[in-house]
Structures are given as C-alpha cells and as structure tokens.
Amino acid sequence: MAFLDNSGDIIIDAVLTDTGRYRLAKGDGSFKISKFALGDDEVDYALYNVTASDAVADLEIMQTPVLEAFTNNASSMKSKLVSIPRNNILYMPVLKANNEPDNALNTDINMYAVAVDETTEDNTNQTLAPWLFGENYTNGKGLRVDQGIDSTAISPKYAIESDLMEQQYIVKMDNRLARLVSKTGPAAKIAFIDDDNIASYYLTLGTDSSYITKNASTTQAGETIAGPRGTTLNFTIQASIELNSSTYLFTMLGGEETSMTGITGEVRYIDSTISIQGATTGAQIDLPVRFIKSK
C-alpha cells in the first residue's frame, strides 16, 4: 500500500502481495487480514531543516516522492513503524552481530562462510578462517545477534525498559539453501514459505529458549552493545539437501573460486543473506552468508 499524492487529498494505492493473491485465489476462507504494518522507507528525516520556521521545516520531507505499491513482499517495507505509548525515549534499541564469543565472521570475505557438506568441512581450517558447518552444524561456528541500546550515554548496568526489550524475532532465509537450527536444541519450525522460496521463522523469548535468551551482562567484555542490553539470538545454519548432495544450485546461482583462505582446493559458492527483524521494536539486521562446496 502507498500514498500516491501527499500535496492535497490523500490517495491510497493498495495491492495484494503475490502471497495475498495466492491465498485469496484459493477461495477457501483462508484469506483473512489479521495484522498490518506501516513503513516509511522513502522518508529521509535528515532533510528536516532545524533552522527554518515551523511552517517549512519539514517541507523537503513532505515533497519527497513516494513509491507506488508493489506486490513483492520480500522487498516491501524494510523499515516498519512501531508505536510506543510514552514520550521519554532518548534512544531506540538496535540489532548488532556479535562475533566475539564464537568468532564466526570470515574477515577475508566479510561474510559468514558455510561448508555445505562433510567433505567441504574436512577441507576447512578453523585456525586460518572461521567456518560454520552446514552438515555437522554442532561442530562448527555459530551466529549471535545482540539487541539493546548501543550508546555509551547509558551504562549497561541499567536494565533496558521492558517495552524496548525484544520478545520475538523474525528470521528470513532462502529455503532452497538452508534451514535455521540451534546447536543446543530442536530445529526451528518454519512459519511460512513465500512465493520466492523465502522461509520465515518466528522465535519467541521463553518458548524458544535454545535460540533467545536475556542478556544479563553488565560489562563490555565479549559484548557488542555499549549500553543496556535486551535479548540475544543464537543460531546456526544447516545446509539444504540440495546444496549438500548436488551442484545444481551452485551452477545456477553461484560461482567458482580457485582458492580461498581457510580451505583446501577449488570451491563453488553461493552468496545469500539472512534477514533478522525484531517483532517488538522493528529493528533489523541483514547477515551476509556464503555457502561453499569443495569441487
């Protein structure tokens, strides 16, 4: 949905996403709108002119062109608006990747490297570069995302406000490539797979204890959030059967490298992204992932 004109009468353009049209076309009553979200992706609040009069301070913002509504749900509304019923908030929480405890980020490629099968795992060297294992995933590195207020203006010894603590995370990844799993608990259940093969996982504090925990740390050692901490999301990745047992997707979607730090021999690879969003605060982070298979 989008506002097509903001200079006079409000005109709203509303379209169903590809998934919405699919559910409506089924005609079995499964199409029910139970929730909605609002976003302001097009708005650049830096355009607010603090030196101008109140009448024109936000003029450039109001004149910013707005996108028409489009049907691809994977691309729409990256920045969702949230409502918090108090006006004394100085800082909003963020999500940050924490590579300190498990050192999972491969700094040579600035991505998280996943060995998709046991042969590739055997060819890796964790001393030279960190690796996630896509088959024997409990033996490889893991991913951690921290939530909290990333400001030194407030000490981490203070508890984060309850309405700013992330209670639920939405994790999205390409279902053709990988599954969301935990090193210490059951595999996560897929809530929904859209028409672009993007799987959504909903993880909740208290219910999914092997994934989400409260961050009680009040020191900076091993932490990436400077101020009060909220919750921590821990997970790893299991490579799909297609990547584990076949080269088809690597040929269709990926490329080849003759050498790469931390692994012996030539490799095939596919680059992808894992998107993580907080359902409470709307904070979001994208983690770059490279799936790798020995040739």
- Dihedral sign of CA atoms 140, 141, 145, 146 in order: positive
- The Cα–Cα gap between 13 and 40 comes to 15
Domain check: are 54 and 135 in the same one?
no
Domain check: are 109 and 186 in the same one?
yes
Domain check: are 58 and 101 in the same one?
no
The yes-or-no verdict on residue 14 having pLDDT over 70 is yes
Note whether residue 83 is domain-resident: no
Task: With residue 261 as reference, give the H or E element that holds it.
Answer: none
Which pLDDT band holds residue 43 (cuts at 50, 70, 90)?
confident
Average pLDDT over residues 132-158: 95
Q: Which phi and psi (to 5°) does residue 288 adopt?
A: -80, 130
Assign 3-state DSSP to the chain and report helix, strand, coil percentages, each to 5. Answer: 15, 30, 55
Average pLDDT over residues 163-184: 95
The distance in angstroms from the start CA to the end CA of the chain is: 46
Q: Count of CB atoms within 10 A of residue 39's CB? A: 15
Note whether residue 74 is domain-resident: no
Residues 264-293: tens digit of each pLDDT: 999 999 999 999 999 888 899 999 999 999
Note whether residue 198 is domain-resident: yes
The yes-or-no verdict on residue 9 having pLDDT over 70 is no
- pLDDT given at position 95: 96
Note whether residue 87 is domain-resident: no
Note whether residue 71 is domain-resident: no
- pLDDT given at position 224: 94
Q: Which phi and psi (to 5°) does residue 211 adopt?
A: -110, -45
3-state secondary structure of 121: helix
Note whether residue 77 is domain-resident: no
Residues 215-268: tens digit of each pLDDT: 999 998 889 999 999 999 999 999 999 999 999 999 999 999 999 999 999 999
| Average confidence score pLDDT of the chain | 89
- pLDDT given at position 74: 64
Domain check: are 11 and 116 in the same one?
no
Percent over 90 (pLDDT), the chain? 61
Domain check: are 138 and 257 in the same one?
yes
3-state secondary structure of 102: coil
Residues 67-119: tens digit of each pLDDT: 777 777 666 677 777 888 888 888 999 999 999 878 899 999 999 999 999 99
Domain check: are 133 and 237 in the same one?
yes
Residue 3 contacts residue 66 (beta carbons within 8 Å): yes
Question: What are the residues facing 88 on neighbouring strands?
Answer: none
- The Cα–Cα gap between 179 and 176 comes to 9
Which pLDDT band holds residue 10 (cuts at 50, 70, 90)?
low
- Write down which residue in 62, 83, 111 finishes a domain: 62
Domain check: are 21 and 141 in the same one?
no
Domain check: are 132 and 195 in the same one?
yes
The yes-or-no verdict on residue 3 having pLDDT over 60 is no
Note whether residue 115 is domain-resident: yes
**How many domains are there within the chain?**
2
Domain check: are 138 and 227 in the same one?
yes
Residue 20 domain boundaries: 2-62
- The Cα–Cα gap between 112 and 289 comes to 5
- pLDDT given at position 265: 95
Domain check: are 136 and 245 in the same one?
yes
- Please give the full DSSP string across 23-44, using - where no structure is assigned: HHHH-SS---------B-TT--
Note whether residue 69 is domain-resident: no
Q: Count of CB atoms within 10 A of residue 167's CB? A: 18
- pLDDT given at position 242: 96
Domain check: are 141 and 227 in the same one?
yes
Task: Look at the block and give the residue holding tokens 């897929």.
Answer: 190
- Please give the full DSSP string across 131-194, using - where no structure is assigned: -EESSSGGGS--EEEEEE---TTS-TTSPPPGGGS--EEEEEEETTTEEEE-SSSPPPPEEEE-
Residue 295 contacts residue 123 (beta carbons within 8 Å): no
The yes-or-no verdict on residue 39 having pLDDT over 90 is no
Domain check: are 53 and 129 in the same one?
no
